[in-house]
Amino acid sequence: MPTLPRPAAWRLTATLALLLLLAGCAGRELAVHDPAPAEGLSIERALILAAAQNALGTPYRFGGNSPAGLDCSGLVELAYRAAGIPVPRTADDQFRALPSVDRARPGDLLFFDTAGRGKASHVGIYRGDGQMIHAPGRGRRVETAPVEIAYWQERFLGAAAAAP
């Protein structure tokens, strides 16, 4: 195999390193699966979605996990509690503890790095039809949001399923 002159080898090595670095910065692709009506949802998923739906309009409150006020992981805790499924309290603990899935189904959790620190700082509940229910932040209320927008796609870390 012929050897490259030193400057060419250095440029090739630098280019490969840059490509690897850029690939490492890319988030995982957010893939979803909306079951056909005939497939149905488990009772647990139906309860999770009903509780999350009932929370729409609830004011954001940091550390909140009750109808008086919710943060993003508190919304998850409240909704999963309604289905009898215990989950860790914070978004990052939920992300690390719950079983990951390649394709989110309604009732699964979607995790995002919104703080740029390489860990889950936001979580939403996948509602189906490309929408999630989440508690977006101070001064806002629990709402639905499309998951296909660039903001969420660029920050997506992964999905998890704690419900059957």
Query: Known catalytic residue: 134?
Result: yes
- Strand, coil or helix: what is 129? coil
Q: Which of 45, 105, 127, 134 does the annotation list as catalytic?
A: 134
Query: Known catalytic residue: 72?
Result: yes
Looking at residue 89, the DSSP 8-state letter turns out to be S
Task: Copy the structure tokens of residue 121.
Answer: 């700082």
Nearest to 93, CA basis, from 78, 73, 68: 73
Distance CA 12, CA 121 (A): 37
Distance CA 31, CA 42 (A): 20
Q: Which of 48, 72, 123, 147 does the annotation list as catalytic?
A: 72
Rg of the Cα trace of the chain?
A: 19
Q: Which of 122, 125, 133, 155 does the annotation list as catalytic?
A: 122
The set of catalytic residues is 72, 122, 134
